[in-house]
Structure 1
Amino acid sequence: MNKRYNPIKFTLLASLLLFAGSCKLDTVNLNAPAETDVLTTREGIIGLSVGLRQFNSTNGINAAYFYPAVTSRELQGVASFTNVLELEAGGTALPTANGNILTLWSNMQRMMTMSQNIIDNAPKVSTLTGGLLSGIIANAELFKAIALGNLAVSFEQANINTSTTEKVTFVPRAQVLAEAIRLLDDAIARTNTTPPTAEFTTLVAGSRFDLKSVLYAFSARYNLMAGNYAAALLSANLVDQTKANAYEYNAQSVNPIWNNINTLKYYTPRAGFGLPAGLFEAGDLRLNFYVSIVGTVRTLTGFGATQTANVPVYLPDEIKLDKAEAMLRTGGSLTDALAQINAVRTQASGDLFGVNAGLPAYSGAVTQADLLVEVYRQRCAELFLTGQRWEDSRRFGRPFSLTDFTERNRNFYPYPDQERLNNPNTPADPAI
């Protein structure tokens, strides 16, 4: 017998009772289920697992994609709201009281707490066993890793666990990434030992979310960020690139890109993916996929075409570019790396999500340094508005100074005032 669970109902409780340890909430939602129902029953754990993915696909993406996109100059903040204008100004003009930074920080804390509660409590529910249990725990480890990865992109230091009883401590971002990778490794090992069942797919993941491929894709991404290039290449090679993994939406849980385009209207895409003239390549078909240009007016399109349009969990061509970069940074074959780059550049049709470059094959110098620049160019176009440009800009050593904000206007965000006021362990803010 199929049962339907209400992820919104369970996420409400998670948002109230399972919040980060440095914050205290005094309100109670009388319409939410009791905490024991969520954390001690089969229905509650399954509902919270679905709600976890839903939370990331809406609140998580909204914060992790849009705010860093302004900082990395993909988008221009055009609303008259203070938070948006401060992000757009960047530099030393970005204050610790900025509400968007607080939202990004808080949303990742919520995801971490929801995930950890599933990890800790799912094994205690006697009716959760076998492949359903392994899938649920691995799914929670994935989303905790994603939250940690987003924190590592945006902050020099962060916590790797939340607490309702103690003030959390901070560790350098290298350790944050290491913990994200550890969680992914554990999830991969778990699902290899006990593969998720069809019941897990039906009740939790859905038909557009192949957990194993998603785990390998994020392992490749975060190992690349951490400088573990051999591990990144190994994981990238294990991603099933025939799977179009996507977040799905409905009228109650709407596509966050669509919402920003049609409802909030806070941002506009910069010309040429926000790249300097030397990096933008005319004729790139991806520009017209992601951006509608009418006269001088640019509007986001891409994966926000409708209220219920799917958003990719990752793009297949990210994996090809991961492979190329990992090869280049480990002194691998220039020919093999170039083949991966050209597979992205020359694709004119057939991409699982319709993101086709349609460019001629690379014709520049075939050296490690030149091909790394080309990888960066392709990542900026292919992975537009996926929350990765800011990290890429730092990793590829792109130009930045207190006066040159062409490609990014900060290195890391300051810590939110609310965290500092509630948690004496909050580190000093980065200078820029």
Structure 2
Amino acid sequence: MNRKNISFKNIFIALSVLVLASCSLDIDNPNGPTDEQVLNSRDGLITHSVGMRNTYSTLALESIILNPGATAHELRGITTFTNVIEIDQGGTALPNFNGNITGVWQRPLRVMAMAEDIIAKAPTVLATDPAMLSGVMSHAKLFKAMTLGALAQSFTHGVLNTDKSGSATFAPRETLLATAITLLKEADAALTATPPSAEFTSRVTGAEFNLPNTIRAYLARYSLMAGNYADAIAAAQSVNLTVASSFIFTNLAPNPLYQQIQVSKNFAARDQFGLPPALVEAGDGRLAFYFTTNTATHQGDPIDNLTGFATAIDKPIPVYLPDEMRLIIAEALIRSNGSIPDAIVQINAVRTQTTGDPFGVHAGLGAYMGAITTDALLTEIYKQRSAELYLSGLRLEDSRRFGRPEPPTDVNPVPMTSERSRNFYPFPLQERQNNINTPADPTI
């Protein structure tokens, strides 16, 4: 891929606007810091670290959640924009010039490029400040891992590193996940060996973003996707489930769910998590958390008003939800022929929860009473993941991993009856035109 030309001067200035809203700035100011000056200064690297996370939360996260969310039928496209209609309908006719697909590809890579620059420069610039260095490096490795994971969830192949020449080589999604896992293990080890300074926490992550827990949560997530079940269990067990880790938004950096669903109205929430009726239980408290009562339809598909994490322009979005860890443990136990009773304990901890979740997501259901078979328990876990982790960007990956029905090869009928409209996306046309290494597109 052609590595995006990130202007660090502009990032530095844009972040200054967030802090000093009264400043009037000219982004083309020739007297401002150069890209090299930003990356080779301590304050510049710290600011760039904040900019990297903000770029992920306000730009990449939108594509990572909304487009796979429509493909996995958590959302319904309700606009007349062709890009949204095509993503919604999917099938073999989904064109590789679709702009939403381009966003799913390019936006994570923009963040990856920023993370790579930090990883390259920080060891030298922060050599005399190990407590700041461990935080900055671990933070950057986390976000590079997150971008690799995002690509692996939407494409059959991706790039391990950005390339300014436009000739990046591709690796299968299994290698993307393995590389992300390595980065997360390195980040976790660095934080354990040298805890970050208070200055790092105050200037980079803030109180709302918990770096150690987030690293371990994503290590559990990607280890599960990679089939490393023992590692997934160990990582999930190491996460403090009482601690919230959130992306923070403002009027200048708006919540992307609020912006795209409540303001722009490009998408609407599908009724009952977009699940088949057999996978939804009456009285599930997460229905009331994520939706308001609504009887509207769009082209025959029931849609709902979304609440949850999309109620305001500055509403925080979880970086991960704590109960994902319980469901990771349950799934990993079952898939590795581990203790079925222990897996059911984890399932019931999610099902019966009425208090204690730091984000207020509580099912409030009775204990599991279904069949004690591998297939039945995996279906239960899929059901719980679909409700608990609604609009977290994970449904498409889950739908494939749990063997849910294959998508139709033609354009979805209206109303849509399938559970997903694609397995993976075609590679963006722009990437194919610029990089001869681009693999063949998947059929569906």
TM category (shorter chain) comes to over 0.9
C-alpha distance in 2 between matches for 1:11 and 1:93:
42
Q: Which residue of 1 aligns with 2:262?
A: 262
Provide the rounded CA distance (Å) in 2 between the counterparts of 1:11 and 1:114: 12
Would you say the 8 A contact 1:11–1:52 is kept in 2? no
| The 10-residue stretch of structure 1 (404-413 or 348-357) with the greater mean CA deviation from structure 2 | 404-413
In 2: Cα distance, 1:166 partner to 1:305 partner: 40
The gaps in structure 1 that reach 5 residues or longer are: 1-6, 15-27
Contact 1:135 1:200 in 2 (8 A): yes
**Is it true that 1:30 corresponds to 2:28 in the alignment?**
yes
Q: 1:295 to 1:278 in 2, by over 3 A?
A: closer
Counterparts of 1:215 and 1:8, CA distance in 2: 29
Give the equivalent residue in structure 1 for 2:19.
none
TM-score (norm 2): 0.90
CA distance in 2, matches of 1:130, 1:85: 50
Q: How much does 1:293 deviate?
A: 2.3
1:298 counterpart = 2:304:
yes
Residue identity matched to 1:10 = I
Of 322-331 and 395-404, the range deviating more from structure 2: 395-404
Counterpart residue identity of residue 285, structure 1: G
Residue in 1 aligned with 2:159? 159
Name the counterpart of 1:389: 395
How many angstroms does 1:262 deviate by? 2.5
Give the letter for the 1:62 counterpart.
E
Query: Does residue 1:195 correspond to 2:201, yes or no?
Result: no
Q: Which moved more, 1:413-422 or 1:190-199?
A: 190-199
TM-fit CA distance, 1:126: 4.6
Separation in 2, partners of 1:126, 1:418: 37
CA distance change for structure 1 residues 409 and 304 in 2, over 3 Å: closer, same or farther?
same
Q: 1:306 to 1:128 in 2, by over 3 A?
A: farther
Residues 373-412 of structure 1 mapped to structure 2, 5 A cutoff = 373-402=379-408, 406-412=418-424
- Give the structure 2 partner of residue 116 of structure 1: 116
Aligned twin of 1:218: 218
* Counterpart position of 1:3: none
- How far does residue 358 in structure 1 lie from its aligned partner after superposition? 1.0
Distance 1:9 1:371, change over 3 A: same
The CA distance in 2 between the partners of 1:228 and 1:343, in whole Å, is 23
Instruction: Please say if 1:131 is aligned against 2:131.
Output: yes
In 1, are the aligned partners of 2:9 and 2:33 still within 8 Å (CA)? no
Cα pair 1:42 1:128 within 8 Å, conserved: no
2:375 to 369, 373, 377: 369
Whether contact under 8 Å (1:11, 1:55) holds in the other structure is no
Deviates most, 189-198 or 143-152: 189-198
Partner of 2:51: 51
SS, match of residue 70 in structure 1: helix
Partner SS for 2:79: coil
Retained in 1: the 8 A contact 2:169–2:437? yes
Contact map agreement 2:259 2:313 (CA 8 A) in 1: yes
Shift in Å, 1:152: 0.2
1:430 is matched with which residue?
A: 442
Specify the SS of the correspondent of 1:124: helix
- 2:9/2:34 contact within 8 Å kept: no
How many Å apart are 1:165 and its aligned residue?
3.0
Classify the secondary structure of the residue corresponding to 1:412: coil
The alpha-carbon deviation at position 135 of structure 1 amounts to 0.4
What is the CA–CA distance in structure 2 between the aligned matches of 1:255 and 1:8, rounded to whole Å?
24
Contact 2:126 2:133 (C-alpha < 8 Å) held by counterparts: no
Equivalence map 1:11-90=2 (5 Å): 30-31=28-29, 33-90=33-90
Moved more, 159-168 or 173-182: 159-168
Indicate if the aligned counterparts of 2:407 and 2:420 stay in contact, CA closer than 8 A: no
Verify the 8 A CA contact 1:13 1:35 in the aligned structure 2. no
Aligned to 2:321: 315
1:235 aligned partner: 235
Q: Matches of 2:10 and 2:435 in 1, distance apart? A: 30
Cα distance in 2 for residues equivalent to 1:240 and 1:8: 37
Change (3 A) 1:100 1:401: closer
Post-superposition Cα deviations, 1:365-389, rounded to whole Å, max 9, x if no partner, equal: 1222211110000000000000000
Match of 1:141 in 2: 141
> How many residues of Structure 1 are paired with residues of Structure 2 in the alignment?
413
Task: Report matched runs for 1:177-192 at 5 Å.
Answer: 177-192=177-192
CA deviation after TM superposition for structure 1 residue 208, in Å: 1.2
How many angstroms apart in 2 are the aligned matches of 1:147 and 1:401? 26
Residue-by-residue CA offset, 1:367-419 (whole Å, 9 max, x unaligned): 22211110000000000000000000111111114358621111100000000
Q: Secondary structure at the match of 2:365?
A: coil
- Offset, 1:303: 0.6
* CA–CA separation in structure 2 for the residues paired with 1:298 and 1:276: 15
User: Equivalent residue of 1:366, what SS?
Assistant: coil
Confirm or deny: 8 A CA contact 1:10 1:38 kept in the other structure. no
The 8 Å contact of residues 209 and 246 in structure 1, kept in 2 or not, is answered as yes
Give the C-alpha shift of residue 9 in structure 1.
4.2
- The structural deviation recorded for 1:128 is 5.7
Residues 321 and 122 (structure 1), Cα distance of their counterparts in 2 relative to 1, 3 Å cut: same
Q: Percent identity?
A: 48
CA distance in 1, matches of 2:187, 2:370: 41
Give structure 2 stretches of 5+ with no counterpart: 1-7, 16-25, 297-302
Q: CA deviation at 1:82?
A: 0.7
Q: Contact 2:9/2:35 (CA < 8 Å) preserved in 1?
A: no
| CA–CA separation in structure 1 for the residues paired with 2:83 and 2:383 | 29
- Name the CA distance, whole Å, in 2 between partners of 1:29 and 1:306: 29
Whole-Å separation in 2 of the counterparts to 1:429 and 1:54: 31
Any idea what SS the aligned residue of 1:95 has? coil
Task: From the superposition, tell whether residues 401 and 65 of structure 1 become closer, same or farther in structure 2 (CA, over 3 Å).
Answer: closer
Residue 295 of structure 1 deviates from its aligned partner by 3.2
